[in-house]
Structure formats: structure tokens, C-alpha cells
Structure 1
Amino acid sequence: MQENKQNTNEEISEQEQQELLKKYDKESRFRQFTGFLKWIVTIGAISFSCFQLYTAIFGQLASQLQRSVHLTFALALIFLLYPMTKKAKKNSLPLYDGILVLVSIYVGMYWTIAYSELVQRAGMYNTHDLIVGGLAILLVLEAARRVVGLPIVIIATTFLFYALYGNYMPGFLEHRGVSLERLISHMYYTLDGILGTPIGVSATFIFLFLLFGSFLVKTGVGQYFNDLALLIAGRQIGGPAKVAIFSSALQGTISGSSVANVVTSGSFTIPMMRKTGYSKEFAGGVEAASSTGGQLMPPIMGAAAFLMAEFTGISYWDIAKAALVPALLYFSGIYIMVHLEAKRIGLRGLSKEELPDKKEVLKKIYLLAPLFVIIGLLMAGFSPIRAALFGILSVVLVGAIRKETRMSIKDILQALENGARTALGVAAATAAAGMIVGVVTLTGLGLKFASGLIDLSNGILLLTLFFTMIASIVLGMGSPTTANYIITSTMAAPAIILLLSEPGAPEITMAVLLSAHMFAFYFGIVADITPPVALAAFAACGVSKGRPIKTGVIASKLAIAAFLIPYIFVLSPELFLIDTTFVQGTLVIGTSLIGMIGIGSGVMGYLLRPMNVIERILGGVGGLMLIYPDIYFDLIGVALLGTLVVIQIMKSKKQGEKLKYAS
């Protein structure tokens, strides 16, 4: 694309993008070193990536060792890179952080140093062990505060106090309480705390996929996604908003952060939307809703798919396949509402001159090959680790096809460094979230919380779902995708599982597990656009200069599918395409997409022309009927939407006759 097409007066500079990221995304507030310290960070980060690649190729270490070494690298790099406060100097390392780096290395490597001894006397821990374990808890909490933010630290600390003082809790939350010694040993010397499943997934699958994303970025695939989205949707009615949808869906495959997605893709889509005629708040809302949806988009789902596979025991591929239809409905809902809004206010698409050169974009279509390599290998039954390894290799090979995408040794080293830096937030979040899971297993809080939700709703499924939705949104506020899923699935999902499981059944079915975990995950993720703590919407306002709360409200309206679809797949798991034939799957997808048109028209108040209250109800209810996978509901939905279309056509004809008569 020509330079004048890339830079409008409203576009924000790269420096402004970085400032926005630092404001709303903790992971972007890192120190900028020069000289010796810069080399220390670079060597440490590359070594981190090399360790992960080595163990992925030649085999994982014992769980405690793999996870503790992963934690060691993460903690040391976090205290090197992330200052204690916003006002701290960004180009020097204070003495106290140097001490924290050394303590982190010792604490993290303690498992490696004393592995045989710790295994032999499991359950019998001395004073030194407990001091190291206590330091590990404090270091993880402080690292998470610096790189992830206060919300997860507050939640984790609350859970730790709950474990210690549960005997003082009221009602169903009461338990016997846990001694400090037992709490520390459980948190650091078992696989149910800091070194539990969450960081285990971070130390294996997630790191490699983040590294894959880092290699993709180095080939210029991020800009290519933007150009491809412009080519696909730019000429359509309200084209820039549709570009934002496509671009964010694609960016979601390599980004694990709604906020980062908003700022990177929004820096060029929001100014384009404003230039076309969308309001500041609507432009920001489109980008926030689309970028948040990137975390729901398979195959990566903001790295939560790998955690879900570990937590549920369902294969990764089955989870990615099940997430496909809900994600398509989410993005189609935004697309439909954007289209209707553009028609309502009479917006155009971009001109041919404002689009990238079609031939140039198509010449680079090979850049998408690594994504298909990953998907193809997963479909063929390869493990996610092997798929990620071959994906990284394919990025290097595919990038070598043309000079401008070819990776030099320097590019590869930078990709290794950037991949490790990207993984720091995930490592800290999963380590902190591991403590939450540890307290749940230690106290039985998950079942207590689930029972409390069910009692509150008197066992009524829809009420239980509603309370679970509220709990998931609150628990998900301000948390990154991985921690978000861990917290919501641990606390909120068990209530749905209890209600949906058949009494006396030997095991929980895949449909029940997926329904419960996806429900909690969806509502945890939409916390990013749900006021009052709508970080993705607030970040979009930094670009659009719109009003934050109004932007969050518009983003929530556009993301209406995320508030409706989870209820439907709990009530009817056919949306996951479980045990369905090709014909059944096609029917489910087709009727659901038509249903989203009805819902979108009801929300926006426009279909073929402006709609009154009755017409909006017809559209909304008819759309819901069609999304629910049942032939009788489908017939009702078709009848309601058919009635709506007839009314709209008749009104349009009458309006046309009046205009003709008047002229």
C-alpha cells in the first residue's frame, strides 16, 4: 500500500501505540537497557527459548524440574525487565531488583538442586524448605503484580488467606483451616500449587505457540493480515469496520492479549473507520469487540485451548473444533451489526485507491502456510508440541521464499528473544493462578462455591447460569486470557457440571465438560469489554479519543453473541458439533448464522429500513429460535423472521409510493 494510504492525520504513531500499551497492558511496561544489562536480558531470554525448544525436541524433564526451570527463567527476567513502580527509572536496575533476580534464581532452581532429596522425603519438609517455599509464593505474587496487574494478585492473596482462616468463614465457605507450614508446602512442593497444571501448560504448549507467533511476526505476517483484511472487506459497505473484524480475528491467532490486539490492529482500523463516518465510540467499540473475540478464535484461543485440554482431559483438537461455531457466530454477529449500522447511516466502503495492491497481497499468500501446517498436523493427530515445533520450522522455510520475508540469523535470535519476553506474563499469571487452584484442591472450595451457586438459584439451571455468568465476568476483570480461564473454570464451571451431570453416571460426558468450561471462559473473556473494567474498550478509546464507558457499552452490544451463545450451547451442545453428521452440522451452522441476522437487526434497530419496538422483538426472538439447534425452534424462528421481512418490505414499498407521490 502506498505511504499516503497508510498515514492519515488521525493515525497514531508507533510511539503512541507503545504509550497506550504501557497504559493498559502491564506486559508492555518494561525497562529499556543499554550495554551490559541489555546483553544479560538478551542472553537470558534466548536461553529461555532454547531450553524450551530443547526439551520439546528431546523430551520433557520430570514435571517438577521442567516447571521450576521455566519459573526460574520467568522470575529472573521479570525482575530484570519490569520495575516496581511506574515512576521507577526505565534504563537502570536498582539494587533491590538485582537481589530479587538472584533470590529468584536460587528459589526457582531449588528443585533442581535438591530434587532427589525432596522426592525421597516428600511430605517431610524442614525449615529451609519452608523458607524457600515461602519466598517462592512472595516472588510469584510480586512478579505477577508487575507484569500482569493487581487483580490476579488480589484474588490469589484472598485465596491464600481463605486457606489459612477458613474456620472463621460464614456458611458454606467454612472449612477447618490450614496451617502455614502445610499451605507453603502445598503451594511449592506439590503439583497442585505454583508448579501445578497451569504453569505446566505454560512450560510446554503455550510457550511454543507464543514462540511460533513471535516467528510469524518477524516475517511480517501481522501487516499481511491487515492487508488481506483490507482486500477482503475494504470495498464493502462500511468496509473499514469489517476490515477490523477480519484483521482482529486473524491477529487473534498470534496474540494472547485483547489489549495488545486492540492497539496494534486498531492503530490503523480505528482511524479508517473514523474517516469513513463512524463515531469515535462505535469505531472503538468495533475494534474492542473484535480484538476480544480474537481470544475466542480457534486454533489457539489466546492459549486457553491448551489449558482447557489439560483441565478437562479432552483432546486439544476436539476443543478447537468445538470452539469453531461459537467463534464464527461471535464474529458474524459483529459483522452483521456493523453492516446494518453502515446501511442505517449511509456509509460507503473504501475506494480502490485506498486499498493495497491486489497482486502484491496475493503474492504473499504463502505467509499463511504455517497456520495451515499447524492445523493440518493437529488434525492428523500430532501433539500440540510437535505441531508447534513444525510450525516454527515452517515459518523459517516459508519466510525464505522471498527476500523481504527471509529471516536472517539476527531475525531468528530476535524472534527467540521476543518469544521469551511474550511468555513472561503467561508464566507469572499461570504460577499465580496455580496457587488459586492449589487452595481449591486443599479446601474443596470449588465444590463449596458450586453448591452455593446452585443453592442460591434453587437448582434452576437458567438462574445458575446467570449467577455463573456474573461470577465469571467479575473473576475475569483485568486478568489475562490464561489466568482468566484458570480462575473462572476452577470457580464457576463446577456449578454447571454439577447441574448437568446425570446422578450416578460413572463419568462426566464431553458435552457437559465443554459446556461448563466454555461458558465460564466466554464470560471471563467478555469482561475485557464489559464496563466498568473494560480494558480492551478503554485501550480502544486511547486510539479513537472516544468516551470509555460508552465505547464499552457499544462493544458489549456488538458482542451480544458472546452473551447469548454460551447459554445456548449449555442447553444444546450440538453447537459444538459433537456427534453430528455433516448434514446436521451444516444445518446448525446455517440456521445459526441466519439467526444472528435476526439478533443483529433487533439490537441495531435496522434491517431493510428502521425498525420499531415490535419489529426489533420479532428479529431478536426469531434469531434466538434459529440459533437454538432444534427443528421446531428453527421453524418458529423462520416464521418470525419471515414476518419481519414481509413487514419491512411492505413499509419500504409504502415509503417508496409516498416519495413518488410527493415528487
Structure 2
Amino acid sequence: MLDGGGPATRPVTVRDPAPEPAYDDEERPSRELTGGTARVVGGVALAVSVLALWQVFRPLPQGSQFYLIVFLAGALPLVFVAYRSGARLAVLGGGDRPAITDWLLAAIAAVVCLYPVLPFRGGYDGFLNRQGLLDPVDVLLGAILLLLVLEAARRTTGWALPVVCLIFLAYGYYGGLLPQDWSVAHAGLDFSQIVDALYNSGSGFYGTPLDVAATYIVLFTLYGAVLDLSGAGRFFVDLSVAAFRRSRSAAGRTAVSAGFLLGTVSGSGTATAVSVGAVTWPILRRAGYPAERAGGMLAAAGVGAILSPPTLGAAAFIVAEYLEVSYLTVLGWATIPTILYYLGILLAVEIDARRLGTRPVEVAADSPWRLLARFGYHFSSLILIVVLLAAGVTATRAVVFATLAAFALAFLDRRTRPGVRDVAAALVAGTRGVLPVAAVCAAAGVITATTTKTGLGTQLASLLIQGAQALTDHPGAVLALTVLAAAIALSLLGLAVPVTASFIIGWVIVGPALLQLGVPGPAAAMFVFYYSVLSEVTPPTALAAVGAASITGGRIVPTMWQALRYALPAFLAPIAFVLTPAGSYLLGRGPALDVLWATAAAMAGVAALAVATGGWVPGVGPAGAPARACATVGGLLLLYLNPVGILAGLALTVAAVAITAVSPGAAVVPGAAPGGPPAGAESTVGTSDGPSERGGEA
């Protein structure tokens, strides 16, 4: 870009510290396929994408479960070819070359998935008629599919989710052996009953989780791929760079705003953190940010992708399905929490800019107004989604129309005009992006089916409430203890499994308890959703932080703790959803005036908590321990959304400011980051002239 007609500067190009394996969507390295293998995978992936698009306008006449069977028959084999097994036998082919066993598993997966719809033994209708009365062949093939689904989940997300599934299966099979006076005991299920629930019912492999993946998520990943093809991703980053150029905190603001804009179409915290970090890390480094703190900021900003309308993350679609509401309704619920989340991060950025003594970084770039004039059309497809949803168009059709709009807009810039190969590549990339989600959702069907057959959800809810009632009989205290236990359980659960699976398991275990205590369904669901997302920035996993650290070269564990510090104030806000009836106002549910005062109180609470975690009062100075303690308690009281609590919280927050003004804490101003210019010097960083051409470096 050019700045005020001045000389052009060399664009920033960033190379990773070391070659990184490819990532598909959310969690795990995938193969970089070439040659004939790439063509085969591309052909199947293209067919899956066309099927998903076709289903929107011309649904298969046999019904939705028939479509899910065919979708899984296309997606599951791709997982075995596109993802490494971890067992690298050189004689069979390793690394990026699929082994013979991978091809064999892919072929078996296709057969066992398609078996219910093949034209023999009565075909699809005959298979459905055998529900509850599966014959030995059905049981055998269902058991094989179970093993394949667990292996696909292991390849894409690691061992944790398959182990959790096995625990639920063991509970279903051996639960009848538990003492019958135990609250979690049940009559017991034999193996054929378990397979029947998984293979031939609407609550197993082909239940709500896979339905969401095959109906909604695949379309949004296709939309994201086409939007990236049009150059929108680079425009969002360039706009953020141009918008904040001169202030001390400009570098941090740039990273956060870029994470928000890119995250609105990404829906993946890790991918957003890596994409934004590749462009903004040079700016952060020159501003004086240590690698770990910059990585934490990038991770926290990236995780906002899972929380930000209009795409949100995969779990948001499941929220809509479970509560039987429109996706637009869920977007409305997420709006104020998204504002609170990014408010907390931006305040942390402002605090760090002063606490760390960061420097302004002069960026040679067009003005944001010129960028908007030239490339602002990239916002059109995002706006179109919301407009169509508001007009009553289904979410699936809205995103397809937005995809077509993004494709058409790509022709406005000669550098991004797509050819046939480009469009095919985008569709293939979109399908590959949904593979981990499809594997996770199919595996999550094991959990939902077992819970449904045994009644485990209701039993665990009663157990959780009884535990709280054993400590107190006050209704408010029982709710508070239950919410605290739920928050801890969800945080620990998220350490082991991906966000989507974490939400499904959490909703099965925690959701019924919150509902029994009178918490409204939307508040309970959004509480579970937000604490499921927390795992992306929580040690020792924190996948978004791992991705960001690979860009900054920082130490992984300190980067995780920094990410948690940035995100923590806003992640305490969801507790307000469920503790009081006023919490629903933060979801936009209630009279406008009530929504406004609740939002203002929550924003003040997030600001107070940002002061407590950052150790600095903007405009005043460093905060000592007494001031930080006042800010912590004040922030929590403000988030309680009780009139008395709000007044007390405001008083404590004012006290924190006064204490800081009278007796400031010790300021910490570390030296310049390695490789950066001396403290006090301005750095000049160039950026590209508008959205970069496809194939160029980020």
C-alpha cells in the first residue's frame, strides 16, 4: 500500500520459523497430498461439496438420514487418506503418502457407510424396518463403522475423544452391573442394542451433531474458502493494519481487529490466530512485544472467531438445533457477549501498551478510507447473510447465496479473478475443512446415543444438584455452586476434546442440571458454549496458542498463559448468563432498556477485571495489589447484574482507581523485543497494496 502518495515500501513477508505441517480446520496435522492421490481426494471432496450444495435446493427424496449416510460415506474415507495415522510404516508408505492400510480403511469405510442404502436385502427401507431387530450382518458392519469413526476422531483430534466415547460405551454395556440404588445405574444394554442405537437411529452416528456438520458447517466452510479465494481475508488484515498506525497500542489493536474481521468468516480459532499472526507478528515484534505475549494476544483474538457472528463456530449450529431456534436467533444471542469479549482484549492491549512501554510502529499503508473505497465490497457477502436471515431465508440458502455473491465479487479485482481450477480448488478446500468436524460429530453421536438410551443426562443432573444441596439449602447458593462446578467441569472437559465435542458432552451433562434449576434454555446453552470455547486458550492444550507460538517462535506454555490472561475477563461474563434472570439481557432477550443497562454493567465489570489481570489503570498508572483486589471483587459484583451488586461493584472499581492514583504499584517496562529497534524509536513496516494475489506470501 502507499501512504499519502509517498514512496512504496517493500511488503512485509513472513516465513514460519520452521516448516509446519498443514492444518485442516481445528486441530490436527493433515497430509499435503500430491499427484494422483491429490486428484482422487480432490474428486471425492468436490463430489461431497456438490452434494451438500444440491441438498440445499433439491433434497434427496429418501429423507435427511439418507443424505447423512451418503455424506458420511464421502467424508469418512477422505479422513483416512488425508490424515496421518501416526503409525508410519515405511514399507507401506508414510508421511504425506497414504499407506496401503489407509486406502484399505477408506475402502472399508465407504462400504460400511453405504451398506444401508445399497439395493439389496431390502435396501434403505429394509434397513430402517430392521431398527431394533438388527441381524448379525447389520451388527457386524455397525461395529466396524464404530471402530472406523473412533479411528477417524483419533486421527483428527487425538486420543481424548475416542477414550471418552469408549467410557460412555462401557457405561452403556456395564451400567446394569452397578448397584441399582446408585443414581447412575440403569438396566444395561447388550452389544446389539448399542450398535442399533448408533447405526440405525436418529441419535447415533446420524444424529443431530452430524446433521449440523453435513447441513450447515460444510456450507460455511465452502463459503469461507470462496471468500478467501476472492481476496477478502487479506483485505480484512490490510484494513486493520491501515486503521491503527500511529498510537502506542496500534500494533496490538491491529492484531485484535484483524482477528475479529478474519474470524467472522473463519469459525476456527487456531486457523485465525495463525493467519493473522503471519502478517501482524512483524509489527508486534517491532513495537516491542515479547514473543509469548504477542502469541497470547493472537490466540485470544483468534478464539473470538468461534464466538463472533455471522459464522460463529460449529457448536453454535448445534445450539440452534438443540433449542429448535433459528440460526439468526443464536447470532442475536452472541452479539453482546462478542462485544464484551473483544472489549476485554482491547483493554488488555491498551494496558500492555503502557505497562510494557511498546512503541508506535509507522506502517506504510493506504488510508483505511481508500482501502474501503477500493475493496469494501468484500463486506457485502457477510451483510447479505444477515439480511437474508432477517428476511426469513433459511441459513443454508443464505450462506449459498452469500457464497455465490463472494464468487461474483472476486471478478472485481483482476488479481483475484478465479478460473475453473480455482473454483474447484476452493470447493475441495472447503470440504477438507469440514473433515475434522464431521469425524468429531460422528463420534459425538456415540455419546448422545448412549446418554439417550440410558437416561444418563438426567441422572447426572440430579447428582450435581444433590451435591450442591448437601452443602446448602439456599436456592441461590445451590445455583451458584452448580454453576461453579459446571464451569470447572466444562473447562476440564475442554482440555481433552475439541470445542464441538466439548459442547455436546457438556450439554448432555451440565445442561439438564441448569434447566432443572430454572435457568432459561438460551442462557444455559450459551453458558455451556462459551466455556467449551475456553479450552482453545487454556493450558495445557490451548491449540490456538500453540498455533500462534509457531508463528512468533515463543515458548508454548507461557504463550498459553498469556492467551488465558487476555481472554479471562470476558470469559467470566458467561457466569452472568445463568446466575440471575437479568443475565438473559446480555443475550439481547428482554426490553431494550434492560438490555442496555445490563450491557453497560457488564462492560464496566469486564473493564474492572481487565485492570485486575493487567495490573494497570489506563490514564492513572500501575495498580498495586490492593487496587487489583478491589478491581477483581468489583468486576465480579458488576457481572452479577444485581442493582445492589452493581452499586457495590462501581464503588470498589472507583476505589481501585483512587488507590492507584494515591499509591501506584511498581511499573514494569521491559526492554525491546529481540531484533527490534531501540526503545523509543519508531519502526517502519510496509504492507501490501490491497489484498494480495493468490499464491503470494501472507
Q: d(CA) in 2 for partners of 1:577 and 1:519?
A: 11
Report the equivalent of 2:357: 346
Native 8 Å contact 2:286 2:361 kept in 1 = no
Cα 1:60–1:626 shift into 2, 3 Å: farther
Deviation at 1:112?
1.6
Secondary structure of 1:364's counterpart equals: helix
Q: d(CA) in 2 for partners of 1:266 and 1:173?
A: 47
Report the equivalent of 2:128: 119
* 1:107-256 to 2 correspondences below 5 Å: 107-113=112-118, 114-169=123-178, 171-256=182-267
Report the equivalent of 1:617: 629
Deviation at 1:562?
4.0
2:543 pairs with 1:543: no
Q: d(CA) in 1 for partners of 2:29 and 2:116?
A: 30
Cα 1:478–1:17 shift into 2, 3 Å: farther
2:538 pairs with 1:530: yes
More deviation, 130-139/635-644: 635-644
Secondary structure of 2:189's counterpart equals: coil
Q: d(CA) in 2 for partners of 1:534 and 1:100?
A: 31
2:608 pairs with 1:584: no
Deviation at 1:440?
0.5
Native 8 Å contact 2:239 2:368 kept in 1 = no
Q: 1:492 aligns with which of 507, 510, 518?
A: 510
Report the equivalent of 2:74: 73
Native 8 Å contact 1:308 1:517 kept in 2 = yes
* 1:385-400 to 2 correspondences below 5 Å: 385-400=396-411
* 1:16-31 to 2 correspondences below 5 Å: 16=18, 18-19=20-21, 21=23, 26-31=27-32
Deviation at 1:204?
0.7
Identity rate of aligned residues, in percent?
Answer: 31
Cα 1:60–1:298 shift into 2, 3 Å: farther
Report the equivalent of 2:54: 54
Counterpart of 2:637 in structure 1: which amino acid?
Answer: M
Q: d(CA) in 1 for partners of 2:303 and 2:468?
A: 30
2:497 pairs with 1:479: yes
Q: d(CA) in 1 for partners of 2:210 and 2:408?
A: 31
Cα 1:609–1:406 shift into 2, 3 Å: same
Consecutive unaligned residues in structure 2, runs of 5 or more:
3-7, 473-477, 668-698
Cα 1:78–1:89 shift into 2, 3 Å: same
Deviation at 1:342?
0.7
Q: d(CA) in 2 for partners of 1:579 and 1:540?
A: 36
Deviation at 1:648?
4.3
Native 8 Å contact 1:31 1:83 kept in 2 = no
Q: 2:97 aligns with which of 89, 92, 95?
A: 92
Counterpart of 1:229 in structure 2: which amino acid?
Answer: S
Q: d(CA) in 2 for partners of 1:352 and 1:549?
A: 31
Q: d(CA) in 2 for partners of 1:434 and 1:452?
A: 23
Report the equivalent of 1:32: 33
Counterpart of 1:95 in structure 2: which amino acid?
Answer: I
More deviation, 413-422/287-296: 287-296
Cα 1:172–1:364 shift into 2, 3 Å: same
Report the equivalent of 1:450: 461
1:334-388 alpha-carbon deviations (Å, 9 max, x no partner): 1101101111232233214367776245410111110100111112222111111
Report the equivalent of 2:418: 407
Deviation at 1:20?
7.6
Native 8 Å contact 1:151 1:477 kept in 2 = no
Count how many residue pairs are aligned between Structure 1 and Structure 2.
638
Higher helix share: 1
Native 8 Å contact 1:215 1:415 kept in 2 = yes
Cα 1:132–1:265 shift into 2, 3 Å: same
Secondary structure of 2:20's counterpart equals: helix
1:487-526 alpha-carbon deviations (Å, 9 max, x no partner): 222222222112225xxxxxxxxxx112212222211211
1:136-176 alpha-carbon deviations (Å, 9 max, x no partner): 11111111111222211111121112111113447433222
1:537-562 alpha-carbon deviations (Å, 9 max, x no partner): 22322222323222222221211134
Q: d(CA) in 2 for partners of 1:488 and 1:83?
A: 29
- Say what the alpha-carbon RMSD is for the aligned residues: 2.5
Q: d(CA) in 1 for partners of 2:464 and 2:60?
A: 40
Counterpart of 1:526 in structure 2: which amino acid?
Answer: L
Counterpart of 2:51 in structure 1: which amino acid?
Answer: F
Cα 1:265–1:632 shift into 2, 3 Å: same
Report the equivalent of 1:504: none
1:199-244 alpha-carbon deviations (Å, 9 max, x no partner): 0111111111111111111112111111112123343332222222
* 1:594-633 to 2 correspondences below 5 Å: 594-607=604-617, 608-633=620-645
Deviation at 1:587?
2.8
Deviation at 1:252?
2.1
Secondary structure of 1:351's counterpart equals: strand
Deviation at 1:5?
5.6
Report the equivalent of 2:334: 323
Native 8 Å contact 2:347 2:610 kept in 1 = yes
Secondary structure of 2:487's counterpart equals: helix
Q: d(CA) in 1 for partners of 2:48 and 2:367?
A: 38
Secondary structure of 2:132's counterpart equals: coil
TM-score by length of 2: 0.86
Q: d(CA) in 1 for partners of 2:41 and 2:382?
A: 30
Higher RCO, 1 vs 2 (CA within 8 Å, ≥6 residues apart):
2
Native 8 Å contact 2:588 2:595 kept in 1 = no
1:390-435 alpha-carbon deviations (Å, 9 max, x no partner): 1111111222222223322222111111111111111111000111
Deviation at 1:25?
5.9
1:233-286 alpha-carbon deviations (Å, 9 max, x no partner): 343332222222111222222223322222221222233222211222211111
1:110-155 alpha-carbon deviations (Å, 9 max, x no partner): 2221201112333221111111111111111111111222211111
Deviation at 1:99?
2.1
Q: d(CA) in 2 for partners of 1:577 and 1:38?
A: 45
Report the equivalent of 1:557: 565
Q: d(CA) in 2 for partners of 1:408 and 1:131?
A: 46
Native 8 Å contact 1:215 1:395 kept in 2 = yes
Q: d(CA) in 1 for partners of 2:288 and 2:445?
A: 47
Cα 1:27–1:74 shift into 2, 3 Å: farther
Deviation at 1:527?
1.3
Q: d(CA) in 2 for partners of 1:500 and 1:595?
A: 25
Q: d(CA) in 1 for partners of 2:128 and 2:432?
A: 32
Counterpart of 1:69 in structure 2: which amino acid?
Answer: V
TM-score by length of 1: 0.91
Deviation at 1:330?
1.1
Counterpart of 2:490 in structure 1: which amino acid?
Answer: S
Native 8 Å contact 2:491 2:535 kept in 1 = yes
Native 8 Å contact 1:32 1:90 kept in 2 = no
More deviation, 582-591/138-147: 582-591
Q: d(CA) in 1 for partners of 2:495 and 2:37?
A: 35
Q: d(CA) in 1 for partners of 2:624 and 2:84?
A: 55
Counterpart of 2:40 in structure 1: which amino acid?
Answer: I
Cα 1:342–1:93 shift into 2, 3 Å: closer
Q: d(CA) in 2 for partners of 1:84 and 1:414?
A: 25
Native 8 Å contact 2:243 2:368 kept in 1 = no
2:481 pairs with 1:463: yes
Q: d(CA) in 2 for partners of 1:436 and 1:4?
A: 55
Deviation at 1:597?
2.0
Cα 1:220–1:298 shift into 2, 3 Å: same
